[in-house]
Chain A
């Protein structure tokens, strides 16, 4: 039995290659994910180990407002300068150095643009001399507050040299410094891992990076001869108490590396998401292929049954075939995955500028998961066809094999039940407990349900679609052919549906969110001009506070309000807060009902927050600021949400304690009679020297703020591309089979005068009808899913439902194109058939 199975495997190479390819692609992403994560992980282990190799013991303050990587940027709580002496006095400490080192120093290059970074931080630091790794390449370290030194990576990227005047953006708006030195690292490196570094004098670093003098972010302690880092660490920790974290360089390297690997996990999940979609769609393809194989082998299988093979043996024979294909595909996928991993790592290395990737390794997890995923998916997909094969009666061997049209009742009822279950799961996920897994599961189950319902709807829909092409005889024949085997058409189309439904659904949700936000902004915000920046790094760009006053002085300006943002612990609970220079003016600029200007110990909150937190006018709220201080604010006013840009408003005085001490957005409202075209150029002129900050009219500001959503859509569309690729394989597969099955018919058609071009057109129409049918299903299902999510978000202020009509049209057009492309090979094969041989074919 085994030998017969393997022989029949080899006899159908092309089909198996096509269906196996889907598994190869899926497994490729699984393996690629593991290889990339593993290699990058080791790269960063090495990187951090070297980066901290010069540190014996480091002291930092425990963060006052803990913010995780996904929630925003952690604001370092500063250490007072007096602590440096305290650490230096600890026995075993040879030397203690106060260090400032924080992300967010952006150098303006010689072309006037901010030097970008794709990943590695842009560190602003104080100059404490060179260590064993650093090598001065030219000049010296900064000695005056208007001097800086940079590492070679910055100097090269910015195109600057010693002696140049260089603009730097930090927590402060643009300041200009003289570049006095450039340093590099051992082994002729420009940086360690692509990190960009700018060194100031200590007081300037304090002002630029921390917003105030007399504080440090870290204290590095060198252990005296004969003392281990660990011993010194314990000594310092005992002396300083529990408000501080004291760690060895080794610990810091390990922790940073672990933290980084967490972030890599996210990347890993994206790749695994790709793999999931590929394998899900691939399952349809494999299922279809095996169904067809079983149908074609009916006579052969029946003969085996007649010769005494048991039902189990028949099931086994099909499953062994699936196992072999799965295994081969998994091995190929693993190989391709290692390639993809190596490519991604190289790409990552060159993008980040100067990262030196570790050698690509293949972790056990990659091998195991690839093999398991590949084999399990293939075998599971083959179970149904295998069971069907086992039901073939031995008598079928003697009869003429015609695949009878099995009734669709059973599959339709099953589809309806599964579809309903999916919808229910989705409903619970959306309205019940907001569980992402329930929602994803619901979507998945819904897809399966719809796929099962597809054969039923394929007849009328495919018929209707086909009418578009019925103007010619080949078109009509193609249409009739596409309706011939509803199950096969359905499952081929369903594979295409999945990808398109996903992307349509996401587009509906994001489009609706965007539109809702834009509408709210347009209807509630009266300010015609907005000053703000393009965020390009971990923190938003800021502008000089003085710009607000200058803008207010421009003729034709009615009111100007500036906005600062931060996360603060209020009564022990973390919250996003907004501060403004003058709440009364901000309210006016926004066009909301009047609000009082806040005194330095007053705050205002929205009625919703007040209700939620049990605050009222007169409540005193304790605020723990991120830089360490504590304040008390009395609630003096409440207001409707969405009338000012924030649910909790603090006075300007609070911004001294913020991570960013300068405003990030300014709202400018014009007086009656003044026009945007008049005032905008004057406001623009005020921020002309900050390359990251701009003044725009309101609608462009909203567009700019919402542009991140477009990136998400783009990413999802890439996913769609992959799903389409696999679906194309499915369409090719189905068509190749149709051509094969209908060889005699094709011969006849050619004999009665169908030309080659007409034959090709006939096959192409069939492909296009199937593809467009799949895309149509996808657009409809995706719209439904998207609308359901938007409906569930209504409470969150997402009140508008936007369907991306033009994108949907593009998807349908794309599907038609996919059909045409998928038909190329099968149609050529059909056209090239030898008429005589085709007629004689049986």
Chain B
């Protein structure tokens, strides 16, 4: 049943360049991400984990194979449809917080809704703002916020439109461990309490331990999966992977 999967990749290939300069980033990756689950994609650099996420999110095109978000096939959509997809059904959290410096925190949070010409649901707004815990800083501009606070604004922005899936690309990469832990706890709680689907790319075993499931990539292929990970089990798997290589 399609409805139970928030995002799905079927035999996805991604090839850059031609002939001698050919680099295969993904070789026939198939993976699905269930609704209301928090999934981590891990792997050494160059393993294709970011590429996989970009292809899943419709930010990058695939060379072969199909990608679905919800019931929609993403592969083959034109720019207009992709824009609409990103607007309505996908949320993003980037490593570098990527807020608009000209807008206040609150304005940044409602930006995707504004772009789509929608009004925020007041109850959901209060819920998200409450969980993010920015309080009186909502009317500050990004330059007046700390890194952790900025990333929380980015998380709230991603949550606000209740997308089918949120893609997070190393969301704690630029934060100290305390701020990072706060963000991860926040993401975890939005999955548990609000049934949000999140796919996160990370190389940090501690970050991965906040998720329900970890998918390991190496050389463009899925090499292992781990349910209910702990930092230790993730680390172990990573070490095993290295031995394999």
Interface residues of A (CB under 8 A from B): 473, 477, 480-481, 483-484, 744-745, 747-756, 758, 835-836, 839
Q: Are A473 and B114 in contact (CB under 8 A)?
A: yes
Q: Are A753 and B87 in contact (CB under 8 A)?
A: yes
Choose from A473, A481, A745 the contact partner of B115 (Cβ within 8 Å): A473
Residue of B nearest to A831 (CB): B79
With contacts A473-B115, A477-B100, A758-B115 taken as known, whether A752 is within 8 angstroms of B59 at the C-beta atoms is: no
Q: Are A752 and B102 in contact (CB under 8 A)?
A: no
Q: Are A753 and B83 in contact (CB under 8 A)?
A: yes
With contacts A839-B94, A839-B98 taken as known, whether A752 is within 8 angstroms of B54 at the C-beta atoms is: no
- Give chain B residues whose Cβ lies under 8 Å from the Cβ of A477: 100, 102
Tell me the minimal C-beta distance from B16 to chain A in angstroms: 12
Q: Are B59 and A749 in contact (CB under 8 A)?
A: no
- Give chain A residues whose Cβ lies under 8 Å from the Cβ of B157: 752
With contacts A751-B92, A752-B157, A756-B83 taken as known, whether A480 is within 8 angstroms of B103 at the C-beta atoms is: yes
Q: List 17 A-B contacts (CB under 8 A).
A: A480-B102, A480-B103, A481-B102, A484-B102, A744-B96, A745-B100, A748-B92, A749-B100, A751-B86, A751-B98, A752-B111, A753-B87, A753-B116, A756-B79, A758-B115, A836-B60, A839-B94
Tell me the minimal C-beta distance from A755 to chain B in angstroms: 5
Choose from B79, B112, B117 the contact partner of A752 (Cβ within 8 Å): B112
Q: How far is the CA of A744 from the CA of B54 in the complex (A)?
A: 16
- Give chain B residues whose Cβ lies under 8 Å from the Cβ of A745: 98, 100-101
Tell me the minimal C-beta distance from A319 to chain B in angstroms: 33
Per-residue 0/1 for B96-140: is the Cβ within 8 Å of any A Cβ (1 yes, 0 no)? Answer: 101111110000000110111100000000000000000000000
Residue of A nearest to B98 (CB): A748
Tell me the minimal C-beta distance from A750 to chain B in angstroms: 7
Tell me the minimal C-beta distance from A438 to chain B in angstroms: 45
Does B194 have its Cβ within 8 Å of any Cβ on chain A? no
Q: How far is the CA of A681 from the CA of B59 in the complex (A)?
A: 80
Q: Are A752 and B92 in contact (CB under 8 A)?
A: yes
Q: How far is the CA of A747 from the CA of B99 in the complex (A)?
A: 11
- Give chain A residues whose Cβ lies under 8 Å from the Cβ of B60: 836
Q: Are B115 and A753 in contact (CB under 8 A)?
A: yes
Per-residue 0/1 for B208-234: is the Cβ within 8 Å of any A Cβ (1 yes, 0 no)? Answer: 000000000000000000000000000
Tell me the minimal C-beta distance from B147 to chain A in angstroms: 12
Tell me the minimal C-beta distance from B5 to chain A in angstroms: 22
Tell me the minimal C-beta distance from B173 to chain A in angstroms: 13
Q: How far is the CA of A484 from the CA of B115 in the complex (A)?
A: 21
Q: Which of B132-191 contact A (CB under 8 A)?
A: 157
Q: Are B84 and A748 in contact (CB under 8 A)?
A: no
Q: How far is the CA of A477 from the CA of B98 in the complex (A)?
A: 15
Q: Specify which of A480, A748, A753, A836 lies most central, judged by the most chain B CB atoms within 10 Å of its CB.
A: A753
- Give chain A residues whose Cβ lies under 8 Å from the Cβ of B111: 473, 749, 752
Q: Are A744 and B98 in contact (CB under 8 A)?
A: yes
Q: Are B100 and A750 in contact (CB under 8 A)?
A: no
Residue of B nearest to A747 (CB): B98
- Give chain B residues whose Cβ lies under 8 Å from the Cβ of A749: 100, 111, 115
Q: Which of B69-105 contact A (CB under 8 A)?
A: 79-80, 83-84, 86-88, 92, 94, 96, 98-103
Q: How far is the CA of A835 from the CA of B61 in the complex (A)?
A: 12
Q: Are A752 and B86 in contact (CB under 8 A)?
A: yes
Q: How far is the CA of A750 from the CA of B92 in the complex (A)?
A: 11
Interface residues of B (CB under 8 A from A): 54, 59-60, 79-80, 83-84, 86-88, 92, 94, 96, 98-103, 111-112, 114-117, 157
Q: How far is the CA of A744 from the CA of B92 in the complex (A)?
A: 14
Residue of A nearest to B84 (CB): A753
- Give chain A residues whose Cβ lies under 8 Å from the Cβ of B98: 744-745, 747-748, 751, 839
Q: How far is the CA of A758 from the CA of B92 in the complex (A)?
A: 19
- Give chain B residues whose Cβ lies under 8 Å from the Cβ of A748: 92, 94, 98-100
Q: Are B83 and A750 in contact (CB under 8 A)?
A: yes
- Give chain A residues whose Cβ lies under 8 Å from the Cβ of B99: 748
With contacts A749-B100, A835-B59 taken as known, whether A754 is within 8 angstroms of B94 at the C-beta atoms is: no
Residue of B nearest to A744 (CB): B98
Given contacts A483-B102, A753-B112, A755-B83, 10 further A-B contacts (CB under 8 A): A473-B115, A480-B102, A745-B101, A748-B98, A749-B115, A752-B87, A752-B115, A756-B83, A836-B60, A839-B94
Residue of B nearest to A748 (CB): B98
- Give chain B residues whose Cβ lies under 8 Å from the Cβ of A756: 79-80, 83
Choose from B80, B92, B112, B114 the contact partner of A755 (Cβ within 8 Å): B80
Residue of B nearest to A483 (CB): B102
- Give chain B residues whose Cβ lies under 8 Å from the Cβ of A835: 59
Q: Are B100 and A754 in contact (CB under 8 A)?
A: no
Q: How far is the CA of A756 from the CA of B103 in the complex (A)?
A: 20
- Give chain A residues whose Cβ lies under 8 Å from the Cβ of B84: 753, 755
Tell me the minimal C-beta distance from B241 to chain A in angstroms: 26
Q: How far is the CA of A751 from the CA of B94 in the complex (A)?
A: 10
Q: How far is the CA of A39 from the CA of B80 in the complex (A)?
A: 59
Q: How far is the CA of A754 from the CA of B101 in the complex (A)?
A: 17
- Give chain B residues whose Cβ lies under 8 Å from the Cβ of A758: 115
- Enumerate the 9 nearest inter-chain pairs by beta-carbon distance, A residue then B residue, closest first: A753-B87, A480-B102, A748-B98, A752-B112, A755-B83, A473-B114, A836-B59, A753-B86, A751-B92
Q: How far is the CA of A758 from the CA of B80 in the complex (A)?
A: 11
Q: Are B102 and A754 in contact (CB under 8 A)?
A: no
Q: How far is the CA of A745 from the CA of B101 in the complex (A)?
A: 9
Residue of A nearest to B86 (CB): A753
- Give chain B residues whose Cβ lies under 8 Å from the Cβ of A755: 80, 83-84
Residue of A nearest to B94 (CB): A839
- Give chain B residues whose Cβ lies under 8 Å from the Cβ of A752: 86-87, 92, 111-112, 115, 157
Q: How far is the CA of A483 from the CA of B117 in the complex (A)?
A: 24
- Give chain B residues whose Cβ lies under 8 Å from the Cβ of A484: 101-102
Q: How far is the CA of A53 from the CA of B220 in the complex (A)?
A: 93
Residue of B nearest to A758 (CB): B115
- Give chain B residues whose Cβ lies under 8 Å from the Cβ of A750: 83, 86
- Give chain A residues whose Cβ lies under 8 Å from the Cβ of B117: 473
- Give chain B residues whose Cβ lies under 8 Å from the Cβ of A754: 83, 115
Tell me the minimal C-beta distance from B98 to chain A in angstroms: 4
Residue of B nearest to A832 (CB): B79
With contacts A750-B83, A752-B86 taken as known, whether A836 is within 8 angstroms of B102 at the C-beta atoms is: no
Residue of B nearest to A480 (CB): B102
Q: How far is the CA of A709 from the CA of B128 in the complex (A)?
A: 68
Q: How far is the CA of A752 from the CA of B101 in the complex (A)?
A: 15
Q: Specify which of B60, B80, B98, B157 lies most central, judged by the most chain A CB atoms within 10 Å of its CB.
A: B98
- Give chain B residues whose Cβ lies under 8 Å from the Cβ of A483: 102
- Give chain A residues whose Cβ lies under 8 Å from the Cβ of B100: 477, 745, 748-749
Tell me the minimal C-beta distance from A743 to chain B in angstroms: 12
- Give chain B residues whose Cβ lies under 8 Å from the Cβ of A753: 83-84, 86-88, 112, 115-116
Tell me the minimal C-beta distance from B165 to chain A in angstroms: 14
Residue of B nearest to A757 (CB): B80
Tell me the minimal C-beta distance from A836 to chain B in angstroms: 5
Q: How far is the CA of A131 from the CA of B79 in the complex (A)?
A: 81
- Give chain A residues whose Cβ lies under 8 Å from the Cβ of B114: 473
Q: How far is the CA of A420 from the CA of B102 in the complex (A)?
A: 35
Tell me the minimal C-beta distance from A224 to chain B in angstroms: 93
Q: How far is the CA of A483 from the CA of B86 in the complex (A)?
A: 28
Tell me the minimal C-beta distance from A344 to chain B in angstroms: 49
Q: How far is the CA of A484 from the CA of B60 in the complex (A)?
A: 31
